[in-house]
Amino acid sequence: MILTPEIRSKFTVFLFLEDLDQGTDLRGHLAVSGYEVFMFRDQDTILSRIKEAAPHVVIFEIEALQTTLSEFVEKALEANNEVAFVPMASVSQALALNEYREYNFAALFTKGDDRDLRALWIVDQVCSELYFQYQNEQLLDQVAEMKRKTETQEARINQLDTRKRELESVEPFQVKTELQVYARAKSKEEIMDAFLHHLEQKCLRQNLKLCALVLKFLPTVQSFVATQALGLDLEKIKGVGARLEKEESQDLMGFLESGKFPAQLIQLLETGLAVKHFVGKPLVLPDAIEALMVFWSPNGILKAEDFENEYMVFQIAYQNLHLARRLNETDTRDSVTDLEGREFYFKKIDEEIARARRLQKAISVVKVSIDHLPEIEQSFGVGNRNAVLRTVATLIKRTSRVNDFSCRTDDNEISLVLPHCPRKGAAIRAERIRRMIENHSFNLSGHRVTLSCGISEYPTLCSSSEELEQTTQQALSFIQEKGGNKVCLYRARQDFKPDFDVPPI
């Protein structure tokens, strides 16, 4: 396997050589190829570093050792038994090293004119084997996890079938028929809408009006925030939420399953919405709490057992879609930033433009580019470049709203899709991100990282998803040509007429 600099950057090499000039040359050759390389002059220091943060490969000369070879190897393996040793030896020493092969001696190379090339070739071979080993272990873990989750889903379906048989004499209930309600749903939002309207029809047959509120759980701020509703004006309550008290968040799953509800949520329902009697249901994924759903009727009293079966089927359908999306994420998500990619981005702006037209709401796109990223890579290496990209992506995600989308759309471009956000609101958001990065301390020997941001908005500045992409790109290119480290809002041509009017903020 030919290793790319991107893959090599994931591996660390320690050098411990007697000749410092040779060590410096070899370190430079390996580092330019992409490896993270550290050179040591003292045996105690390298052994201490192996114990603290073990490398993948240790290249050493026997002449550099201050103890016997066996003592050095034993101490290194005591610190970490997965280190691979690659000695640089003379021809006469090579024969004596055969007895150490069982002690993680992966290979050896002799001194000579082609030393650096041979060392790189050997390190590539060792790291290729490790890379395949890590990939296989990760794949096996993923397969085992998916098998466990599949078995959990099958157990839930069997549980539902058992309950169905128990209640057949009282209430006819067909699992397959219920699952058909969600057959056409392509997203979590569509499954949620299908369930709410399905439940609404059932309540209407019983002469009950149904109201519902979906509050998404945000673990970073330990809060539930309203994102969907039935029988309510969502625009008036969207973003309203309830923060958890300390004792409520300690065992949130147990707290909710015991039938308790956050105190702030109860206050919101009773005071803000005048709801006295309600049914609450946690929406649980295999590895987390997704949301809390609250149901009530203005002209009657709902009981949890009235729609227990329907809720179980809905939750299974929701979890199945979640697992399917997780499986697809390995193909669609960017491995460096953990953001969605270009395909997801273009699909999402098409969907959000259609939604904006339907709701007569604005949608903005912000394109973010790191100034002088090629120079950062050239000066500090691929690993540090990727670390900068990851940090920018993480800060963007931490400051995003629930309904925002962030995607890596080019090597040096992150695009933010901001539904229900007019142009000035997008500019405020972009400037906040730019200042955060400008003031952030990166481990780049004092080098300051800055951003350029381009912004456009539908319907005020363009008339389609294609134009939204193009105009945002033009704004970004313009400000980059002016030196960067600024935010640029696209200016529409004078004769442009928007599809509908929206306030600027």
The CATH number of the domain holding residue 25 is 3.40.50.2300
495-499 own/partner pairs: CB under 8 Å, 24+ apart:
496/461, 496/463, 498/459, 498/460, 498/463, 499/357, 499/458, 499/459, 499/463
- Residues 205 and 260 reside in one and the same domain: yes
Confidence of residue 167 (pLDDT cuts 50, 70, 90): low
- Residues 356 and 431 reside in one and the same domain: yes
Q: Is residue 440 part of a domain?
A: yes
Which pLDDT does position 483 carry in this prediction?
93
Asked whether residue 371 carries a pLDDT value surpassing 80, the answer given is yes
Q: Is residue 125 part of a domain?
A: yes
Average the pLDDT over each of 86-90, 191-195, 407-411, 470-474 and give the range with the smallest value.
Answer: 86-90
Query: How many structural domains compose the chain?
Result: 3
Residue after which a domain boundary falls, among 285, 301, 331? 331
Judge if pTM exceeds 0.75.
no
Which pLDDT does position 420 carry in this prediction?
92
Collapsing DSSP states into helix, strand and coil, what is residue 459? coil
Q: What is the pLDDT of residues 333-368, one digit of tens each?
A: 888 998 999 988 999 999 999 999 999 999 999 999
Query: Rg for the chain (alpha carbons), in Å?
Result: 29
- Residues 342 and 325 reside in one and the same domain: no
Choose among 408, 394, 415, 433: nearest CA to 335: 408
* Mean pLDDT across 429-449: 91
Q: What is the pLDDT of residues 33-60, one digit of tens each?
A: 899 999 998 999 999 999 998 999 999 9
- Residues 371 and 419 reside in one and the same domain: yes
- Residues 299 and 351 reside in one and the same domain: no
- Residues 421 and 466 reside in one and the same domain: yes
Asked whether residue 99 carries a pLDDT value surpassing 50, the answer given is yes
- Residues 103 and 16 reside in one and the same domain: yes
In whole angstroms, what is the distance from residue 38 CA to residue 54 CA? 11
Which pLDDT does position 170 carry in this prediction?
45
Which pLDDT does position 89 carry in this prediction?
81
Q: Is residue 27 part of a domain?
A: yes
Which pLDDT does position 248 carry in this prediction?
87
* Mean pLDDT across 144-161: 84
- Residues 369 and 320 reside in one and the same domain: no
**Where does 399-446 have alpha helices with state H?**
423-439
Asked whether residue 111 carries a pLDDT value surpassing 80, the answer given is no
Residue 469, domain extent: 333-489
Written as six digits, the tokens of 177 are 């028929």
Confidence of residue 97 (pLDDT cuts 50, 70, 90): confident
Q: Is residue 81 part of a domain?
A: yes
DSSP 178-212: HHHTTTT--SHHHHHHHHHHHHHHHHHHTT---EE
Q: What is the pLDDT of residues 289-334, one digit of tens each?
A: 899 999 999 998 888 888 888 898 898 889 888 887 776 655 578 8
* Mean pLDDT across 171-181: 69
Domain CATH number, residue 449: 3.30.70.270
Tell which wins on pLDDT, 255 or 236.
255
By percentage, how much of the chain surpasses pLDDT 70? 95
Asked whether residue 423 carries a pLDDT value surpassing 90, the answer given is yes
- Residues 313 and 338 reside in one and the same domain: no
* Mean pLDDT across 415-443: 94
Would you give the DSSP letter of residue 412? Answer: T
Confidence of residue 256 (pLDDT cuts 50, 70, 90): confident
* Mean pLDDT across 96-100: 72
Asked whether residue 117 carries a pLDDT value surpassing 70, the answer given is yes
In whole angstroms, what is the distance from residue 241 CA to residue 215 CA? 7
Confidence of residue 110 (pLDDT cuts 50, 70, 90): confident
Residue in the block written with tokens 């201050």: 66
Strand partners, 289: 284
Which pLDDT does position 177 carry in this prediction?
75
